[in-house]
Amino acid sequence: MRKNNIQTSNSNGYKIIAVDDEMGIVDSLSIFLKRSGYDFVGVTNPMEAIERVKNEHFDLMILDFIMDPIHGDKVVEEIRKFNKELYILLLTGHKDLAPPLETIRKLDIQGYCEKSDKFDQLLLLIESGIKSIAQMNEIKRMNEELSDTYEKLEKAYLDSIQTLRYTVEAKDPYTRGHSDRVSSYSVLIGKKLKLSEDDLKTLEVGGLFHDIGKIGIPDSILLKEAKLTDDEYSQIKNHPSIGAHILCNAEVFKDIIPIVKHHHEKYDGTGYPGRLKGDDIPYLARITAVADTFDAMTSKRTYRNALPLEVVRAEIEKCSGTQFDPDIAKAFIDILDNDYEEIKKIQEMYA
């Protein structure tokens, strides 16, 4: 079959593809639309048209309904599998031959008209379509600009909070590497529990910032090597609430605030700051709690050496159902028993 794909040199920037197995219709549309300032591609083979749309950009398609080897509705059905945005106008030899309105809606065909020697009605539909396309392009452009601006603001805020995190780590040698390990352990547990990618990302970021509130704890308490007094311990227990307050004004951190605020809650309701119990504790915070405790027990402190793995494992098992969510504790013990190499990799990375 022959095809006409000559493009005008006086283009208005919009590219139209017409598909009709009658070459006379394609030729007439070519002359008419080029005079109107459109880039034009005419195709007489509907199968070829599908491939052209797949591999080239077109703003609008004019499509005959009754064609060989497939009708126009089947062409649209194939195109909608990979292109949801193409504006499509359907041509029919007679209104009685048009597809049902339900089909037009289902396939997101924007309009149709009967074939005619004159193209006045078609041109009105095309001009209306181009206006819609122009508006959608402008909305898309504005959204992209807003997205870019938001990403820059998000990065600037993230950088600021990272600076605070590094300030905490500079104050407290124990914290250095701790947040990275808690983040990695939390993701490891999340994967064992088959959580979604979004939840894994929240666990990752939440682990990094879970102790950010320690920026508000006096150095005399944070760095004290002797046993803390009851009053000093009470101040330490404020760090989850302080961290949540630091992050609360940024939309980007809304998903991790439950982790930051509640990673010291206990499953039996004896934790802090909210004394939440069981399922009232945010699920991702329950995961971070296990990761946080494991790292605390396996890290060298000023007042003790790192605890042996068998002691740590037994402690987690003993605290299942009291300090820890039993299902999460079980998943972590499974990691210790069967995937300990992953734990060792994390420890070596953030030693």
Strand arrangement of the beta sheet that strand 39-43 belongs to: 39-43, 15-19, 60-64, 87-92, 111-114
User: Rounded to 5 degrees, what are φ and ψ at 131?
Assistant: -60, -40
Classify the C-alpha dihedral 159-166-259-275 as positive or negative.
negative
**Close Cβ partners of 151 (under 8 Å, ≥ 6 residues apart):** none
CA-to-CA distance for 243 and 221, rounded, in angstroms?
Answer: 17
CA-to-CA distance for 186 and 289, rounded, in angstroms?
Answer: 9
Catalytic position from the list 214, 254, 330, 344: 214
- According to DSSP, the residues that pair with 16 across neighbouring strands are 40, 60
Three-class DSSP category at 325: coil
- 52 in Cβ contact with 45 (< 8 Å): no
Q: For 349, what's the count of Cα atoms within 13 Å in the CB-facing half-sphere? A: 13
Could you confirm whether 118 is annotated as catalytic? no
Active-site positions? 214
